[in-house]
Amino acid sequence: MRLLLIDNSNTRTKFAVADSINAPLETHHVATADVCPAFIKTLKDLDFEAAVLSSVVPEKAALFREVLSPAPLHEISCRSDLPIDIAYPDPDQIGADRLANAVSAYARVGAPAIVVDFGTAVTFDVLGGTRDSGSYLGGVIAPGLPSMTDYLHRNTALLPEIDLQEPSSAIGKSTTDAMRSGAVHGYRGMVREVLGAIQNELDENPTVLATGGDATLIAAGLPEIMEVVRNLTLQGIYLIGERNLT
């Protein structure tokens, strides 16, 4: 079944069409602020049989529901048929993208596992259980790396806006280098500390996967992360859509 996959996050909305979990994904994205009825109507020209929506922006989700009709649409939530259990006090609080990440990781490596998603926020989603019986346990939410660096630029008189890249040394020889070192090394330290705290609460060592815009940069200095999976969220959206629409 050819599915239109939509990952509607706070900053960017990604989409792709796929008819198999193993098919290469040709992904496209647009700023979420630019998602409007006219844009969504252009998606209806794509070759798909049904759509799967992961959204954390309620007003944009409502637009997708309205404009894509009458095409079949599955909107991911804790009420979706999932291959994992949810061991969480209030499942309605779990973002659809986090469920997609968990399902995608479970299909890829089983459980226990942790997904670190580097986006507007960085999220850690934790799967407990085994290869044959996975359970979403919860996670951690922290500010995303761009949010931290942009905050420094906006709220100080002399600190510039920087592009994020691997610092040449820990000791910065310019303001820009010092900011890059603080951002990259400091962020890796935060991620490592959170992973360690999560692992202390699990009975077994989890497999750690990463995804999101800054995943490759940060994971390069973190041997704790086994693999960076570029389209992990979209792959999870496909798996949930396939399970609920076919």
Spot the catalytic one: 97, 117, 125, 214.
Answer: 97
Q: How confident is the model at residue 157 (pLDDT cuts 50, 70, 90)?
A: low
Across residues 174-199, what is the average pLDDT? 91
User: Whole-angstrom Cα distance, residue 96 to residue 229?
Assistant: 18
Q: Rounded to two decimals, what is the model's pTM?
A: 0.92
How many angstroms from the chain centroid is the CA of residue 69? Answer: 26
Candidates 18, 11, 8; CA nearest to 242 is 18
Across residues 201-228, what is the average pLDDT? 94
Active site residue 97: yes
Q: Hey, what amino acid is at 132?
A: D
- pLDDT > 90: what percent of the chain? 74
Looking at the DSSP bridge assignments, the partners of residue 4 are: 17, 51
Task: Render pLDDT for 89-137 as a digit per residue (tens, 0 to 9).
Answer: 999 999 999 999 999 999 999 999 999 999 888 999 999 998 889 999 9
At 146 the pLDDT is 77
User: Whole-angstrom Cα distance, residue 50 to residue 187?
Assistant: 39
What value does the mean pLDDT of the chain take? 92
Q: Hey, what amino acid is at 125?
A: D
Could you state, in order of their start, the residue ranges of all structural domains in the chain?
3-144+185-245
Q: How confident is the model at residue 147 (pLDDT cuts 50, 70, 90)?
A: confident
Q: How confident is the model at residue 158 (pLDDT cuts 50, 70, 90)?
A: low
pLDDT over threshold 70, residue 151? no
At 174 the pLDDT is 86
At 30 the pLDDT is 96
CB under 8 Å to 5, separation ≥6 — which residues?
15, 16, 17, 18, 25, 51, 52, 234, 237, 238, 241
Task: Render pLDDT for 22-46 as a digit per residue (tens, 0 to 9).
Answer: 888 889 999 999 999 999 999 999 9
Give the relative orientation of helices 145-155 and 175-200 as an angle to the nearest 10 degrees: 140
pLDDT over threshold 80, residue 153? no
The CATH class given to the 3-144+185-245 domain equals: alpha beta
